[in-house]
Amino acid sequence: MATDRVEVTSADIARIADVRPTAVSNWRRRHDDFPQPVGGTERSPRFDLAEVEAWLLRERKAPQIPPSQRLWQAFDSVRSVMPADDALGMAGTLLLHLHEHPATPAPARVSDCEHLLREAGRTLSQARGARAGVTALLAHCPRHEFGPRQLQLLSAAAEAAAANGAAATFDELCARHFTSGPRAGFSATPPALADLMIHLAGPGHGTLLDPACGSGTILLAAAEHGYQRVQGQELNASLARVTAVRLAFRASTADPDQVRAAVVYDVHADDFLRSPAYPRKASAVVTNPPFADRTWGYEELADSIVWEYGVPPRAESELAWAQQALAHVVPGAPVVLLMPPAAAARPSGRRIRADLLRRGALRAVFSLPPGYAAHYALPLQLWVLHRPDPADAPRPDHLLVADAGDSQDPAALVRDIWDAYTAAPEAFATRPGVARTVPLVDLLDDADVTPRRHLPQLAQPGVSLTALTATRSAFEEAAETLLSRLPGLPPSPPDERPETRPVLLHDLIKSGAVVLHHPTPARKVPLTEESPGPGEARFLTAADLTQSRAASTSGPAPEDPLRSPPIRVGDILMPAITRNVVARVATEEDAGSYPSASVHHLRITDPDLLDPWFFAGYLSSSEGIRQASTATSTLGVHARIDPRRVRLPLLPIEQQRTYGEAFRSISEFARVLQTVHRLGSELTSDATDALAAGLRPADGHQLLTPAGERTD
């Protein structure tokens, strides 16, 4: 098999041609001369990029592939013969050399690659602002046999640099690589989070150390915030080299007349806990350390002098990083760490957390929203620590805790809280449910520093006496209505059942007696007003159907009213995928809205053939649901609904209407029953919250007593 080609997937081809992936599948079926797969699997074939490009140009399907896209495809292909981080470092080193020496010719043969990269390595080690650690990185740079794919990568990098500039090319390549998905053991720190962490460290001055620098995002942010020297250490030598290249580009593109050009940088590849590379005199440490590392060196480091606050247990690698970081800053200097929520509450770390609090080292803990930090679904935390300074007196007697988990702009909220706190710590005003200072005496027992545990909550409007009374009255009224809507028992089945003619709904659709519309997906947002804005429409979702409510979202109205018509009174609506299957006959409340893509929209065209309530009632029955449902393993307890599979027992229209009225009364009872359940749940929840609120200090807010009276 040839190894000098660049391979692409169907998704890559769609991206290149600016079409949907389904278009590529159609091309493969309809065009006999479409390139044949050269690798991959039957379900995910890979194609030769040169053959694909020639076919696209021949068929006039796409313009010539831009250099940046060609570089990405070459980078994607070379990952099959060398690690991605090594390939990124190789391409970045060459791009830096081309940036400094733009007249350098691109490699034309495999034999040119090694010579050119040696020259590029010298450029990196001699780049502006670089120190000894950068040179040392080249000594243990991974060695790979150069082949056609490496040549493709370096040639594509040179082509992209000539078209777009070397610095812009490397920035784009890094951005695509580090956002293409999490990889084992590493996830790049988002730039916005890096900026926030640097802000918490305080005004930039002196030396900032990131001992788990990864791809260098925090170091780049520190350089922009005024730190005169930035130092990084990273266990993964390939990532350390990428960081060195990024910092070298930053230094080379800086204006020599501005302060930002004077930043000195250094990057080492080694284990920070076992072999720290820098002396313990940084002005700040800001880092995103690895989490839950059981191999951090518990046995080797048991007698280390670094453990001023206690020897970290094997499961507390994060507290080992915190102590090593504190040991590397000067007295009074800050340390900002991104931490998992378990580090704030695990019993095994209680003694160390308590000593950090007691000695004034831990100053603040901020909770972030789930997913805000890279790919983590957990609500990660930011810890702000300071190395105790004997000259500082007195020590802090409290801890700032804040929860930004419900904020639309968590970075802005954390900045605002921190700035207000640092301006006047003793005068910081509690923000119920968001932030407060907690006395240390309240923390030292279990040393659980999880913010939400210590935040007082504002009494919600729903727990007021007026609201409780209104909810109770609405519940009583709905309960009375429920009894009046109780459907009667069906009569005993007659000796002779009515003659029925089973008809497959699919056949009724083919005949035109029933029309099944297929709504197109549309961007929708919660409907906050009674009427949507201009050019927008109300949309009915599957959740609206199962919860017996009106259309709850809005979005742009469909462009083609023939393919996606609005709902009319009498239309039948069913969820496409649901846990609870129910068919609903549209009422005046539904008319004019549009079904979402998760709703089947059926319309009866001949009212003398089918009664809508009879139709919907049978579809909602156990037998109708059984016929329409297709369970799938990926959907768990949910079911995929296809109404075309149902065999409808067709009766004379008058008998249908008799059954339809019975089905209508059952549907109305179900609607009122859901209202009773909803109001009962609200009443239970609000009454419980009101009672619980009366048991804690009110912080000046009026609360309810168990008797329903207010107290201060």
Is residue 169 a contact partner of residue 68, using CB atoms and an 8 Å limit? yes
SS3 119: helix
Q: String of b and e for 505-536 (b: at least 16 CB within 10 Å)?
A: bbebeeeeebebbebeebebeebeeeebeeeb
Whether 400 has a pLDDT exceeding 90, the answer reads: yes
Task: Give the mean model confidence (pLDDT) for residues 662-676.
Answer: 87
Of residues 27 and 69, the one with the higher pLDDT is: 27
> The tokens 């009224």 sit on which residue?
477
Can you give the pLDDT at residue 337?
97
Whether 625 has a pLDDT exceeding 90, the answer reads: no
- In angstroms, the Cα distances linking 289 to 273, 322, 327 are 11, 9, 15
Of residues 514 and 377, the one with the higher pLDDT is: 514
- In angstroms, the Cα distances linking 337 to 74, 176, 325, 450, 508 are 36, 26, 9, 15, 64
Is residue 647 a contact partner of residue 504, using CB atoms and an 8 Å limit? yes
Distance in angstroms (rounded) separating the CA atoms of residues 586 and 605: 15
User: pLDDT (tens digit, 9 = 90+) per residue, 269-282?
Assistant: 999 999 999 998 99
Query: Minimal CA–CA distance to 260: which of 221, 289, 223?
Result: 223
Can you give the pLDDT at residue 283?
96
Can you give the pLDDT at residue 431?
92
Whether 658 has a pLDDT exceeding 70, the answer reads: yes
- Strands 572-575 and 398-403, by their bridges, are unpaired
Q: How far apart are the first and last CA of the chain?
A: 81
User: pLDDT (tens digit, 9 = 90+) per residue, 102-129?
Assistant: 888 877 777 777 788 888 888 888 888 8
Q: How confident is the model at residue 700 (pLDDT cuts 50, 70, 90)?
A: very low
Can you give the pLDDT at residue 630?
67
Of residues 617 and 710, the one with the higher pLDDT is: 617
Distance in angstroms (rounded) separating the CA atoms of residues 284 and 280: 10
Can you give the pLDDT at residue 34?
92
Quick check: pTM over 0.85?
no
Is residue 679 a contact partner of residue 552, using CB atoms and an 8 Å limit? no
- What percentage of the chain has pLDDT greater than the value 70? 85
Q: How confident is the model at residue 4 (pLDDT cuts 50, 70, 90)?
A: low
Supply 404's token pair: 């930004």
Supply 117's token pair: 């990269």
Distance in angstroms (rounded) separating the CA atoms of residues 419 and 558: 47
Of residues 355 and 522, the one with the higher pLDDT is: 355
User: pLDDT (tens digit, 9 = 90+) per residue, 225-284?
Assistant: 989 999 999 999 999 999 999 999 998 876 655 544 568 999 999 999 999 999 989 999
